[in-house]
Structure 1
Amino acid sequence: MNEFIFPFAALVAQEPLQQALLLAAVDPELGGVLVSGPRGTAKSTAARALAALLPEGQFVTLPLGASEEQLIGSLDIEAVVRDGGVRFSPGLLAKVHQGVLYVDEVNLLPNPLVDQLLDVAASGVNLIERDGISHRHEARFVLIGTMNPEEGELRPQLLDRFGLAVSLQNCFDAETRREIVKARLAFDTDPDGFRSRFAGQQDALALRIRQARVMLRALEFDDTVHARVSELCIEAQVDGLRADLVMLRAARALAAFEEASAVNVEHVERVAESVLLHRRKEGRAPNDQGAAEPRAQQKKSTDEASHGYMPPEPVDVTAVKNVRPLATKKS
């Protein structure tokens, strides 16, 4: 129930996370948000708070030990033979339509299950096939996956398929910690009173999400925007073109959320870090296309290593600058 959910607008010192979640809410086809960080950094609190802003308010958690049938649903083949029709038992993807699917410790799920989950999150359609029988249904939802890097990483192929990523850190600023703790204690003491203080901001955010979804397709990209996206992705040495596409869509979602008349370079700059964080290639020179090292050079490197020489140090890729997070109001 919403009265037990911490208000999204009341989150403290979580601007990058709030921006990423709002963009995914405006355009769920971005592919979801991957949130990494230690325990106690408000990952699940923010996910539940976002669901409360959506029209349906649906929030579904995927259990760590979930099976494929629990996720996508199942088909009763015997019913086809007996009754001549397909009997579909819905899974979590059917229940979460138009809501938020929260996957805690997504890095501990079996890779095929994560792959399937990301497929549906990006396409908005769940397809179940068994023995030549198929069934499909809409499954449009905001995917939020969380992980603690200390407990293992996702394969790069799966990382790339998450649209946006945010890395949370422990807070060691005394004033910020006090503000966070005060807000939590105030909410725990009087949830209704605390929520009423942010009711206006919550309603405004929910309205902006609904309106942004409507105007999303009307916004186009000019050549200047395309050029900046290409520059940032080349600088980050990303694999493939998924980052370019996601960055354009995220910039468009931000422009729609802010009721801008067009997507501009500033929108691109502000979403770039969440698009590139989990895709950026560290240690590769800007013009290195990943070509194989000549055999003679490979042998030289091997010989040097075997005689105690230190391997060459990687060259750091310049970080994306001037990324300004989405402003959120505080009471």
Structure 2
Amino acid sequence: MNTIQNNLRPVFPFTAIVGQEEMKLSLILNVIDPKIGGVMIMGDRGTGKSTTIRAIANLLPEISVVTDDPFNSDPIDFDLMSDQVKSIVSKNQSVNTSWINVPMIDLPLGATEDRVCGTIDIEKALTEGVKSFEPGLLAKANRGILYVDEVNLLDDHLVDILLDAAASGWNTVEREGISIRHPARFVLVGSGNPEEGELRPQLLDRFGMHAEIRTVKDPALRVKIVEQRGQFDYNPQAYIEQYSEKQKALKFRISQAQKLLPDVNIDFSLRMKISEVCGQLDIDGLRGDIVINRAAKAFAAYNNNLNVEIDDIKKIMVLCLRHRLRRDPLESIDSGSKVSEVMSKVFYI
């Protein structure tokens, strides 16, 4: 049996958002390939960070899930199923499915570890001999987007848990010798204001991309943004309708890029130059190399190309590396000039 669930809350159209190209591109590439590792968005207050993140979630194609499953289990892909669903499917038993919008989960600053990861009912396990698990936010975010506003103010321990789950695609909860594991594959999006402090370099490095946004200074552009917001607030449905064709076109483009991605190739000579740039910038570890390769492929797929070109790498390299140059927590993040300078020398551009 198939049912369709609709999100009735009006969301500002992604294609109507003016400027903030770094943020928009980073989000698009991460939804094309969630293995890029998420995006950290740093910028001034009131620059539309939350609006843009909710808008990208609303743009994504609906997903098929097992009805009433707390982990949004995929009815076909074993890697995206809970153990219970996997057991049913492996026995060739049928499951009811529903179509839902891609989950968009907000993680509040005051969230506890139990709220994030979920809790095991030890008493029930001891008295009845069954594993009773209360899912947390990581379960709800599976196959969706997990958004943490003011992530730079979140406890480092919780940030570590989020990054571990985002990297592995799984969440494990252990208590009193009882262990429960469930899929937690999501795009992690963090945002914050640099005036309130940066994340430690060790944590920042684990975000795939880093986008900087600034308050628009051009008076004409500011007036346009204010007018747009006013029109949306006055009559959301009419405003959304104005952008329906652009929204459909972008949704189709993202969907096609997701399908094309596995076939995209990046030439060995370009991979060598990517690693040469990372080496010259003295980037710790290999995360930078891996993320650039993935982001470049996603960008090529987004442009409907099967082969990565130099321009694809040029477009995304600063976003993938600028936050990996910091070693001292007191240093500010480079705007991208160092990365661009080295890239120009290596790629002769």
Q: Give the structure-1-normalised TM-score.
A: 0.83
Return closer, same or farther for 1:152/1:213 CA change in 2, 3 Å cut-off. same
The partner residue of 2:244 within 193, 199, 202 is 199
Residue 18 of structure 2 corresponds to which residue in structure 1?
Answer: 12
Question: What is the alpha-carbon distance in structure 2 between the residues aligned to residue 143 and residue 318 of structure 1?
Answer: 26
In structure 2, what residue type is equivalent to 1:221? Answer: I
Match of 1:277, SS state, is helix
What is the percentage of aligned positions where both structures have the same residue? 45
Match of 2:338 among 308, 315, 318: 318
Distance verdict in 2 for CA 1:321–1:96, change over 3 Å: same
Q: Counterpart in 2 of 1:39?
A: 45
SS of alignment partner, residue 171 of structure 1: coil
Root-mean-square deviation over aligned CA pairs: 2.1
- Give the drift of 1:61: 0.7
Shift of 1:212: 2.2
Residues paired across the two proteins, number: 291
1:232 aligns with 2:277: yes
For structure 1, which segment, 5-14 or 189-198, has the greater mean C-alpha deviation from structure 2 after superposition?
189-198
- In the alignment, the residues of structure 2 paired with residue 143 and residue 154 of structure 1 have an alpha-carbon distance, to the nearest angstrom, of 15
Q: Which deviates more from structure 2 when the two are superposed, residues 207-216 or residues 190-199?
A: 207-216
| Alignment check: 8 A CA contact 1:41 1:170 kept | yes
Q: Secondary structure at the match of 1:52?
A: helix
> What CA distance in whole angstroms lies between the structure 2 residues aligned with 1:179 and 1:322?
37
Pairwise mapping of residues 166-315 of structure 1 onto structure 2 (< 5 A)?
Answer: 166-281=211-326
Which residue number corresponds to residue 310 of structure 1? none
Q: Which amino acid aligns with 1:115?
A: D
Partners of 1:12 and 1:116 in 2: CA distance = 34
Q: What secondary structure does 1:57 align onto? A: coil
Deviations 1:265-311 (A, max 9, x none): 2211111111012112599xxxxxxxxxxxxxxxxxxxxxxxxxxxx
CA-CA distance at 1:139 after TM superposition: 1.4
Q: Deviations over 1:149-170 (max 9, x none)?
A: 1111110000000111111112
d(CA) in 2 for partners of 1:29, 1:85: 34
1:110 corresponds to 2:116? no
How far apart in 1 are the matches of 2:339 and 2:149?
A: 28
- Pairwise CA distance, 1:136: 1.3
Paired residue for 1:24, among 30, 38, 41?
A: 30
In the alignment, structure 2 segments of 5+ residues that lack a partner are 1-6, 63-100, 329-335, 344-349
When residues 87 and 107 of structure 1 are mapped into structure 2, their CA distance, relative to the original with a 3 A threshold, is same
Residue 78 (structure 1) shift: 2.4
**Residue 114 of structure 2 is aligned to residue 69 of structure 1:** yes
**For 1:100-135, what per-residue CA distance to the aligned partner results, in whole angstroms no more than 9, with x for missing partners?**
211011011111110110111122211112222211
Alignment of 1:101-140 (within 5 A): 101-140=146-185
- Distance (whole Å) between structure 2 residues aligned to residue 319 and residue 175 of structure 1: 32
Equivalent-residue separation in structure 2 for 1:3 and 1:133 (angstroms): 39
- Please give the secondary structure, in 1, of the residue aligned with 2:248: helix
Shift, 1:222, TM fit: 1.6
5+ residue gaps, structure 1, are 284-315, 324-331
Aligned 8 A contact 1:72 1:126 in 2:
yes
Structure with higher Rg: it is 1
Segment drifting more, 262-271 vs 149-158: 262-271
In structure 1, distance between residues paired with 2:176 and 2:293: 39
Once the two structures are TM-superposed, the CA of residue 262 in structure 1 deviates from its matched residue by 1.6
Contact 2:265 2:306 in 1 (8 A): no
Structure 1, residues 228-257: CA drift from partner, whole Å, max 9, x if none? 211332343321111110111111111122
Structure 2 distance, partners of 1:155, 1:108, is 11
Judge conservation of contact 1:159–1:279 (CA < 8 Å) in 2. Answer: yes
Pick from 132, 137, 156: which aligns with 2:201? Answer: 156
Give the counterpart letter for 2:173 in structure 1: I
Kept in 2, the 8 Å contact 1:281–1:317? The answer is: no
What is the one-letter code of the residue matched to 2:138?
L
Contact preservation (8 Å) 1:237, 1:281: no
Give TM-score scaled by structure 2 length: 0.78
How far off its partner does 1:263 sit?
A: 2.0
Alpha-carbon displacement from aligned partner over 1:86-111 (angstroms, at most 9, x marks no partner): 11110001111222211011011111
User: In 1, distance between residues paired with 2:22 and 2:342?
Assistant: 13
C-alpha offsets along residues 170-219 of structure 1, whole Å, 9 cap, x if unaligned?
Answer: 21112221221222122122211111111112122222223322332222
